[in-house]
Amino acid sequence: MSDYIPSANIERTRTGQRHFVSDIDETGLGAVDAVADDRAPSSLWGEAWKSLRKRPLFWVALTIIVIAIAIAAFPNVFTSQDPRFCELSNSLKGPSDGHPFGFNRQGCDIYARIVFGARASVSVGVLTTIFVVIIGGVIGAIAGYFGGWFDALLSRITDIFFAIPLLLAAIVFMQMFKENRNIWMVILVLSLFGWTQIARITRGAVMSAKNEEFVTAARATGASKARILMSHIIPNSMAPIIVYATVALGTFIVSEASLSFMGIGLPSTVVSWGADISAAQASLRTNPMVLFYPALALAMTVLSFIMMGDAVRDALDPKARK
């Protein structure tokens, strides 16, 4: 038989064995497992911000974007040189005091042209993205929410525009109106043919959101269709739209540069990275840096928006966060 010895620790002895059992903890499991429930629950955007601020990719992209926007908005703060002032005596000269990147073949200051070229490229990208989101968002939201013949008609119109390549359509239209080329014409053409993907994304997001319980609750309270769409469905469908718009902004900057590179985009009176890259082709073998600097500015700006889109997508996607 075993002998039991009462003590602070209950000791049970057997031949060649001694077992110790600790005292029962006086702290209840309820107190240990209690979770504070007095704070407000985090929203999707709150959780996304917590994820974003921990990612170096987000801060790198944000820094480059802020710098690009600042240069585009206030170019005179970054240089005092006139980008259109050219002297052939300075043709292809290297860096010097006040001219860190040297001069191009026409004798224009490369650094000044890069700084002032940001205004055209960034402006086209930002304004085109705004118009594309508005056009595609409205069409996609109406098609996804009302369904029926609205959806059928708007979806077929979207398919027609979707089948037309953006850059090809822009080339044709810019050639048709080449005498009236300006920054607003480029924005109009890119917006006219660049809204289709946003419309499809918005339609899918709205169709998913309109079946949620908060929409049913809003209908039960007597809210009108317009109020439900504007106050409940669209705000809860913005995540994929914002992600795509961030990436598309870089695409529109590239499209403007491509049109200017081919000589059918912005007029020669407007300083543009695409036009400078096109003009630098003749000096590629002898002075490759003349092409390298505007190409680097274009690549870094576009890459920053793509990286920002990737970071925002990962932050807003719960599966990616897991």
**pLDDT confidence band for 8 (50 / 70 / 90):** very low
What is the rounded CA–CA span in Å between residue 94 and residue 222? 71
How much is the average pLDDT of 306-311? 88
pLDDT digits (tens, 9 = 90+) for 154-174: 999 999 999 988 888 999 988
pLDDT digits (tens, 9 = 90+) for 48-75: 788 888 888 889 999 999 999 999 999 9
Confidence (pTM):
0.80
Domain 53-82+110-314 has CATH 3.40.50.300: no
Name residue 188's amino acid: L
Do 222 and 162 contact (CB within 8 A), yes or no?
no
Do 308 and 125 contact (CB within 8 A), yes or no?
no
What is the rounded CA–CA span in Å between residue 57 and residue 67? 16
H or E element, residue 14: strand 10-14
List phi, psi (to 5°) of 34: -65, 140
CA angle 210, 213, 216 (to 5 degrees): 70
What is the rounded CA–CA span in Å between residue 46 and residue 291? 43
Q: Three-state DSSP class for 57?
A: helix
Closest CA to 250 of 133, 136, 140, 128: 128
For 187, other C-beta atoms within 10 Å of its C-beta total: 22
76 CB contacts (<8 Å, ≥6 apart)? none
**pLDDT confidence band for 40 (50 / 70 / 90):** low
The full set of domain ranges for the chain reads 53-82+110-314
**Which CA distances in Å does 206 have to 70, 235, 239, 312?**
35, 10, 11, 20
Positive/negative CA dihedral, 78, 80, 82, 87: negative
pLDDT digits (tens, 9 = 90+) for 89-123: 888 888 888 888 988 888 889 999 999 999 888 99
What is the rounded CA–CA span in Å between residue 12 and residue 6? 9
Of 14-18, 26-30, 218-222, 242-246, where does mean pLDDT reach its minimum? 26-30
Name residue 288's amino acid: P
With a pLDDT cut of 70, the percent of the chain lying above it is 84
